[in-house]
Amino acid sequence: MPTPTPCPGTHNNAWRAAEAERQATGIDHDLKPVWGQPVHCPRCADRARSQLADLPELLAAIWLEALHGTRPKTTGTIGRSTTPSWPGQAARMITDHIIGGLIDFEDDIRDLRGLRPRVHHGQEGTNADRAITFLTAHLSWALECHPMAGEPHDRLSANPAAQIHHWHAAAQRFTRRDIRMDRYGMPCPRCELLSLYRTDGDDYIECRNLECGQLLTPGEYEEHCRAFAKERVHQTAA
């Protein structure tokens, strides 16, 4: 059994920063990491699996946007300055980005595991489906044994789970599904910002503060609300 390491997920960012600080300055901290089993924690592993499973439907939704061109003007800050020069170009770009990434990822794992090279298919939808099927079958290996599996997640991380998260988030943003998100009223138990959200169909409530990324189950959120309320009652009573 390999020795567990702290999960590379964003929810351990605060712990990693505190550890770096401790090593540089000797100032101790009382943060505890969430341990991997043995590399990713079960929450991050489940999430990577369900986000990968969502990709075929998200890609189909992007293709539909390209065909019907119903997407309203981008209102976010990213990509606002680049106006697509022909209808469907934005959909084309994001499709290339995600499918290209999936195929590279499949090639990479085949290479690392000494498997037969991928059979190239002329149809990109078929290539994407095959890559997703392949990656699903090899995901447990990728989250544990890929050379980048332990790299902390961020937008540019080559960690397999971080890459899946990045494609999923990009596809959700494009199809405007990230708007179907409920904001939760309590401050995050870790960073104390009002940044807790739950995306439709997600099992977890997530802190959207990129420095934090705390994941809570609905039960833990309830527990947090109770503790928060109790603390306030004591404060007002004092």
CB of 3 to Zn ion, least distance (A): 17
Q: Which is nearer to Zn ion, 9 or 160 (CB)?
A: 9
Interior/surface letters 36-47, b for 16+ CB within 10 angstroms, e for the rest: bebbbbebbbeb
Residue type, 202: D
Q: Any idea how long the chain is?
A: 238
Q: Does 7 bind Zn ion (CB under 5 A)?
A: yes
DSSP state of 220: H
Taking the C-alpha atoms of residue 237 and residue 46, their distance in angstroms, rounded to an integer, is: 43
CB of 197 to Zn ion, least distance (A): 11
DSSP state of 175: T
Question: Binding residues for Zn ion, how many (CB under 5 A)?
Answer: 11
Q: Which of 44, 102, 135, 161 binds Zn ion (CB under 5 A)?
A: 44
Q: Does 9 bind Zn ion (CB under 5 A)?
A: yes
Residue type, 66: A
Taking the C-alpha atoms of residue 28 and residue 26, their distance in angstroms, rounded to an integer, is: 6
Q: Which is nearer to Zn ion, 47 or 138 (CB)?
A: 47
Q: Tokens for 214?
A: 């705390």
CB of 152 to Zn ion, least distance (A): 10
Q: Does 146 bind Zn ion (CB under 5 A)?
A: no
Contacting range for Zn ion; rule: CB under 5 A; set: 71-79, 81-89, 153-161, 189-197: 189-197
Helices of type H across 26-159: 42-68, 89-112, 124-145
CB of 196 to Zn ion, least distance (A): 7
Q: Which is nearer to Zn ion, 66 or 194 (CB)?
A: 194
Pick the closest to residue 28 from 37, 38, 19, 17 (CA basis): 19
Q: Which of 188, 205, 216, 224 binds Zn ion (CB under 5 A)?
A: 188
Q: Which of 52, 90, 99, 212 binds Zn ion (CB under 5 A)?
A: 212
Residues in contact with Zn ion by CB under 5 A are 7, 9, 41, 44, 188, 190-191, 207, 209, 212, 214
